[in-house]
Amino acid sequence: MPAIYFFEEDITYKLTHKTGIRQWVSETIKAEGYKLKELNYIFCSDSYLLQINQQYLDHDTYTDIITFDNSETERVITGDIFISIDRIRENAAKFKITEIDELHRVIIHGALHLLGYTDKTPVTKQKMTQKEDFYLNLRGFNS
């Protein structure tokens, strides 16, 4: 079983398809030429993630995801990915998609950050979105 773990902070959230998600994210990491050591997904509230954003990144804004790269070895993934379920729900409604589809996009988005992809410029954001779409289409489980 891939070393991918799921936690909750400041919310109660029931993630479905954990085994499928672990395999999908693990295969994404491998396909990009990296090895997985440990990856933690922490599902939380807007207020919890805002505190992290303020404390660690000095940003006073809500966000859907914050990724911390804890890797010590090149091309070996170790990280923590915090995801606001409140933002997932709001963005799903805004984009007129299901919450689970939005969650899957954000899950893979966080993994792509650990794989070196960024979204700071229009060009890098477009490339990252293309990678998200590519890996979302490879999901081997029902959303």
pLDDT band at 143; cut points 50, 70, 90? low
Q: How far is CA 95 from CA 78, 99, 135, in A?
A: 31, 10, 19
For the segment 81-104, the average pLDDT, to the nearest whole number, is 97
Q: What is the pLDDT of residues 27-42, one digit of tens each?
A: 999 999 999 999 999 9
Give the architecture-level CATH label for domain 4-136: 3-Layer(aba) Sandwich (3.40)
User: Where in the chain are the domains?
Assistant: 4-136
For the segment 73-94, the average pLDDT, to the nearest whole number, is 97
Is residue 114 predicted with pLDDT exceeding 70?
yes
Rg over alpha carbons for the chain, rounded to the nearest Å, is 14
Q: In the prediction, which pLDDT does 140 show?
A: 75
Q: What is the pLDDT of residues 70-83, one digit of tens each?
A: 999 999 999 999 99
**Cβ distance 48 to 10 under 8 Å?**
yes
Residue in 82, 71, 78 with CA at minimum distance from that of residue 41 = 82
Say how far apart CA 118 and CA 110 lie, in whole Å: 10
Say how far apart CA 124 and CA 11 lie, in whole Å: 32
Q: In the prediction, which pLDDT does 35 show?
A: 97
Supply the DSSP symbol for 96. T
Q: How far is CA 19 from CA 68, 71, 89, 116, 126, in A?
A: 23, 23, 22, 25, 29
Say how far apart CA 62 and CA 60 lie, in whole Å: 7
